[in-house]
Structure 1
């Protein structure tokens, strides 16, 4: 859990479970650290789409 307005790096993104959060509903998950993901629905990226390369 991170405090509101915490800046996180997005190393890559992947699809997963659909989640509804503060920034809408999304099935995109952002890799923010080794093995750590957060739903894009909780990250303000400025778009509903991908902003980083796909994980893989």
Structure 2
């Protein structure tokens, strides 16, 4: 391998690594948003269940 081909390979590796790190950050952000939405839905379901139980008790 020549010095130039090694340099080209290093540039290619660096570029791919930068892209992978960016995508990983985006992936982490999406996972956190999904987890937050899940807990909001669980809270809403619990509140709705409590309200339905109270309403059923009044009837």
Q: Which has the higher helix share?
A: 2
Normalising TM by the smaller chain, what interval?
Answer: under 0.3
**Relative contact order, CA 8 A, sep 6+: which one is greater?**
1
- The TM-score, its normalising length taken from structure 2, stands at 0.13
- The TM-score, its normalising length taken from structure 1, stands at 0.13
